[in-house]
Amino acid sequence: MAFGQYRPAVFAAAGYRPGGLWAQVGPVEADSEKPLDVSEIRQKIFQNDMHVIDQDKVEDLHQLISETKEKGDTLGGIIRLVATGLPAGLGSYVSWDTKLDAKLAAAAVGVNAMGNSGTTNRLLLGILAGSSFASQLIGDASLSKRPMKRVSQPLAKFGAEIALSPAGTLPARVIGQKLHGAEIQLEVASAQVKSAAIFAALEAGSPSTIIEKLPTRNHTEIMLRQFGADITTEADNLTIHVQLGQELLGQEVEVPGDMSSAAFWLTAGRLRKSWPLMS
C-alpha cells in the first residue's frame, strides 16, 4: 500500500497535511526510530517498492511476502498515520464537519498489489474513480509497460481524475471524486475497458450509456445484474445503458474453470501427439 496520498479537496483546504507509513508487516518492524514529519514520510516511502521508511528492511519484507505467498497465507501489519496542522478539538463534536475518523485512513491508503494482472488494474481504475479517497496503483515490470490510457480516457468523460506516467502506463494515481453520467463511445474493443466504464457509471450521479466499438464478452453485465444492477444491452449488442438507484445485494457465485488458462496446455498437447490428453 502507498501512503502519503490524500485528497486535496478534503484535507488541504482544511489546512492540515496527512501522511502514513508501514510501521510493521507481519513480524518485520520497519518503522523509523525517530519522529518524522509528513514531508520526510512522503519523501522516504517512495524510495522503495515496499513503501517503508527503513530501507534495510526492504529485502526482509520481500522474502517474508514471498514465503507467505507460497504458503497461501496472508499478512497483517501496523500502519502509522501522521498529520500536521491539525486544529484544536479536531475529532470532537465541535468539529463534526471536518473530523478525520475513517476519512484520513481511506485517503492515506492506496492500492499496490496489482502484480501482473491487467484485469485487476483496469477494473479497479473504474471502481476507485468514484471513491471518496485517493489511490495509487502499481504493478510489476511487465504490467507497468501495458497501455492504460485506453481506460483513463473514457473514464475521464465521467469526471474521473487519473494521472498516468508520461508513457501512459502505471503507476496510476486516482483522485476519487463524485462522477457524473455520460454517453461514451469506446475506441478500443475491450471487455476490461467496458467493465471499468460500467463500474464508473454505477457510481455516477445520473444514468449513462456506453457504446462499444465491437461486441465483447459480457460477463460483467451478467454478474452485476445478478447482484441487482439495472444494466440493459440493446439488440445491437453494442449499446449498454446503466441506470442508478439499485441496491446491490450479496449473492452466492460459482466461478467455473478458466478455459483461457487451460488452452495453452491443450494446444501444446495437440502439437505433440505423444503427449496424452485428459478430458
The phi-psi region of residue 220 (left if phi > 0; otherwise alpha if psi is between -120 and 50; otherwise beta) is alpha
- Other C-beta atoms within 10 Å of 99: how many? 15
Q: Give CA separation, 124 vs 20, 42, 132, 176, 213, in Å.
A: 22, 24, 14, 12, 22
Q: What is the pTM of this model?
A: 0.60
- 156-166: pLDDT as tens digits: 999 999 999 99
Give the residue with greater pLDDT, 102 vs 116.
Answer: 116
- 65-107: pLDDT as tens digits: 889 888 888 888 887 777 766 655 555 444 444 554 445 444 4
Residue 53 pLDDT greater than 50, yes or no: yes
- In sequence order, what are the residues at sequence separation of 6 or more whose Cβ sits closer than 8 angstroms to the Cβ of residue 208? 158, 181, 182, 183, 184, 197, 201, 241, 242
Residue 3 pLDDT greater than 50, yes or no: no
- 120-174: pLDDT as tens digits: 899 999 999 998 777 888 888 888 899 999 999 999 999 999 999 999 999 898 8
How high is the mean pLDDT of the chain?
80
- Other C-beta atoms within 10 Å of 229: how many? 19
Handedness of CA 266, 268, 270, 276 (dihedral sign): negative
